[in-house]
């Protein structure tokens, strides 16, 4: 069956293949909920993207660019405070060691135990013109996503779930190699479900990233790269994770103005 995506790129159109999940990032695969017949309830638009500097807990939508001398200086100060070390081996890594995907019971992070799984929480947070499955205020079946990584707008439908995936900004595999292998599982569950570390993005961009750090992967959209570096640094600082020297240098470079 041919699959089409609807995407607005200032007049240009693009096609996308359905994508498999990749290490360190999670796709939005079908979860068994068939869209109800007829129209679902429509939710209010989530609003415009917010700068990560004004969104330290990750509960506001999107990832707005960080611009201007003052904000970029603040960004560099945050990045400069990160510790560095070499990336360790991936030995023993398994996604299941971070809890099952999109659990609502990762205590200690925003939106936990609100009756809606993490994935749908994020679609509601970042989507606009959100539509829910009939009878639900949780299961998102359609929305418009302004993708921060590519700078495009995606008209997403649940039937084509792979067109949008949830990215772990600090990939779980990366965290494992930088020290989360020694954490209690409860802390790993927090990292995996913390909205600060999670962004709905174009599936193709998410798959290209895999478990890379900023030195080897940055969002294709250049205007958002400083904001991405800030968010990566915010997560690393919150969870006391070191980053590699190369990643730290690349992050700082993105916020030089």
Q: What is the pLDDT of residues 140-170, one digit of tens each?
A: 999 999 999 999 999 999 999 999 999 999 9
Residue 115: burial class (beta carbons within 10 Å; 0-12, 13-18, 19+): exposed
pTM, 2 dp: 0.84
The Cα 4–Cα 154 span in angstroms is 11
Q: What is the pLDDT of residues 218-246, one digit of tens each?
A: 999 999 999 999 999 999 999 999 999 99
Closest alpha carbon to 239 in 184, 167, 161: 184
* Confidence tier at 257 by pLDDT (50, 70, 90): confident
The Cα 208–Cα 70 span in angstroms is 32
The Cα 26–Cα 22 span in angstroms is 7
For the chain, domain boundaries: 6-11+22-29+38-253
């Amino acid at each position: 069956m041919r699959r089409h995506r609807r995407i607005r790129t200032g007049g240009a159109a693009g096609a996308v293949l359905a994508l498999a999940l990749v290490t360190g990032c999670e796709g939005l695969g079908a979860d068994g909920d068939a869209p109800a017949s007829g129209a679902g309830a429509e939710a209010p638009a989530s609003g415009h993207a917010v700068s990560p500097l004004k969104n330290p807990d990750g509960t506001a939508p999107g990832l707005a660019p960080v611009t201007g001398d003052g904000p970029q200086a603040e960004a560099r100060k945050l990045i400069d405070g990160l510790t560095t070390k070499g990336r360790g081996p991936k030995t023993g890594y398994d996604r299941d060691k971070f809890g099952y995907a999109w659990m609502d019971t990762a205590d200690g992070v925003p939106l936990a135990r609100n009756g809606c799984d993490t994935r749908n929480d994020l679609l509601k947070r970042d989507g606009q013109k959100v539509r829910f499955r009939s009878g639900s205020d949780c299961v998102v079946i359609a929305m418009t996503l302004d993708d921060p990584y590519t700078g495009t707008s995606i008209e997403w439908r649940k039937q084509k779930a792979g067109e949008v995936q949830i990215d772990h900004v600090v990939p779980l595999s990366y965290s494992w190699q930088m020290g989360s292998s020694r954490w209690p599982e409860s802390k790993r569950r927090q990292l995996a479900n913390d909205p600060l570390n999670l962004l709905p993005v174009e599936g193709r961009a998410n798959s290209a990233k895999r478990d890379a750090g900023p030195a080897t992967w940055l969002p294709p959209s250049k205007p958002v790269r400083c904001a991405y570096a800030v968010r990566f640094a915010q997560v690393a600082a919150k969870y006391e994770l070191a980053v590699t020297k190369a990643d730290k240098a690349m992050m700082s470079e993105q916020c030089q103005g």
